[in-house]
Chains A and B, each alone.
Chain A
């Protein structure tokens, strides 16, 4: 009985650790997603600004 309760507690702790870990890993992935979105926005702004201030230069817009 005592051993069962001990195992039960151990399993609950193990499950909690597992769930926390999965959540943690999913959070890590989402943080990367957010960082990518921010980086892309910054890069696009830089491209637009450069094209705005130096429209005569060859730049990425000429590609399209």
Chain B
């Protein structure tokens, strides 16, 4: 299993995440995408506009249900507990197992800092990546490349196989 940390410039964030998802469609047979900062509807509208196929992606949307009552959609799981790491982890692992996913895209570490301190995030990621590995699933973690997130980035780098600077 390969775990990759991708660092993205805040000004190019959306377009680079789209590229990550485009690559995910090509390299993985089934992807689970965790969104902590975009609703499912908003994200899939953007992907449609960019002509990116998302038929092999199952989404975990941690935003919509915190704001409105979401309409059930087959390829999306809604949760409203991104500040509860145990629930988030269970949801991710269940979705990965149910869909036999071989790739998780986690968007993003930066958003997690809204809810938790970096040490807690590192601990959560360490457990999550180990559990994914047991289930045959690789991971791409996205993070904003800025000074604010540098301490977290430096710690997460130690957990992954590779760090890619997406500009």
Are A and B physically bound partners? no
Instruction: Give the B-binding residues of A (Cβ under 8 A).
Output: none
